Amino acid sequence: MKIRTFIATASLVASGSLVAFSGSAQAALYTTCVGDGGAVTVSNDLVVPAGKSCTLTGTKVKGSVTVEAGADLVAAGATFNGAVNVEENAYLDLTDTTVKGTLTTDSAFGTHLEKSNLKAVDATEGFVYAVDSTLGGNVSTDSGELYVSGSTLNAALTGEGNQYTDVYDSTVKGALTVNGNALGGVFCASEVYGAAKYSGNADNLQIGGEGALGPCAGASYFGGNLAITDNTANSVLDNAIVRGSLTATGNNPVLVVGELARIRGAVTGDTAAASASASRSAKQAAPQDRGAELAEKAAERAAAAKAEAHEAGKSRL
C-alpha cells in the first residue's frame, strides 16, 4: 500500500511540475511593452497590454504584434516580421515601418500608416488612413473610414459598408470595389488596373474631376472595366480615361459624365451630360477635407499615447 501511495504522490508531483513548467514557458512566449522602447530586437511576440501605451523607435520584432483593447502603439523606423492585430478601441500609428505579416483590426479606434510598407490589411470598423505607403497585399475595410493618399497598392482595394472610401494620387494594381458607403467616395488623380466597381453607395461619388467633395487636380485612369451601378449618390465621372467598358445601370439619380471623361469601350445604361451650371456649382462647393479630419484625429490620439508612454518610462524589452 505504501509503495502504491508513493508512486501516486510522485506522479502528482511530476504532473504539477510539468504544468508549472508549461505555464512558465507560455509566459515567455511574448514580451509586453509599456512605455518607450528603443532600437532592440524582440525575439518573440510583442503585446501592448489593454489600456496601455507603447512607443517603439527602430525596434525589430521577430514574432507577431498585438495591441490589446484600448491600447496604443506608436512606432517609427520599426520592423515587424509577423502579423499585427489591433483590438477594440485600440490605436496603431506607423511611420517608416515595415510589417511583413497581415495587419488585422477589429473595432479599433483607427490605424495611421505613413511612409510604411505593409503586406495586407483587413480592417473591420475604425479608420484606415494611409499616406505615402506601399501595401503589397489586398486591402479590405468594412464599416469604417478609408482614406488613401500618395500610395501604391499592389493588389485589390475594397471598401465595404464604410462611411466613405477616398483614394487620392494613388495606384491600385488590382481590382477596386466600393460598395454600400454611406457618404460615397472620391477617386482623384489615381490609377486602377483591375476592374473597378461602385455599387449601392449614397451621398456623393466623385470619380475624377471636380465635384461636391472638392477640387481634384489631375486625371484618373481605369485600365479595365468600370461599373457604377445601383447608387443613390450624386455620381459624377469626369477627367478620367476608361480603357474598358462603362456600365451605369440602376443609379438614381443617373450618372453624370463630364466632358473630360473618355470611355474607350461600350457604354451600358443611363448617363447624363454635365450642365454648365452644375460644373460651376461643383467648382464653387466648399471642399470636405476628410483627410485633414482623419489626420487631426490620428494626431490627437498619437500625442496622447506618446505622453502616456513617456510618463511610464522606458519599456523593458
Q: Which of 259, 253, 187, 249 is nearest to 218 (CA)?
A: 187
What is residue 210's predicted lDDT score, i.e. its pLDDT?
80
* CA pair distance 265, 288, nearest whole angstrom: 32
- pLDDT tens, residue by residue, 203-237: 999 999 887 887 888 999 999 999 999 999 999 99
What is residue 212's predicted lDDT score, i.e. its pLDDT?
80
What is residue 173's predicted lDDT score, i.e. its pLDDT?
98
What is residue 17's predicted lDDT score, i.e. its pLDDT?
25
Q: Which three cell numbers stand for residue 297?
A: 484625429
What is residue 13's predicted lDDT score, i.e. its pLDDT?
30
Q: What is the DSSP string of 50-83?
A: TT-EEEEES-EESS-EEE-TT-EEEEES-EE-S-
Residues of the chain with pLDDT under 70: 1-28, 276-288
Identity of the amino acid at 45: D
Cβ atoms of residues 140 and 122 within 8 Å: yes
Q: Which three cell numbers stand for residue 167?
A: 483614394
Q: What is the DSSP string of 112-129?
A: EEES-EES-EEEESSEEE
Distances (CA, A) of 181 to 20, 105, 126, 144: 51, 19, 14, 9
Own/partner contacts of 152-155, CB < 8 Å, gap of 24 or more, are 155/120
What is residue 2's predicted lDDT score, i.e. its pLDDT?
37
What is residue 288's predicted lDDT score, i.e. its pLDDT?
61
Mean pLDDT of the chain: 89
Cβ atoms of residues 31 and 49 within 8 Å: no
Cβ atoms of residues 237 and 263 within 8 Å: no
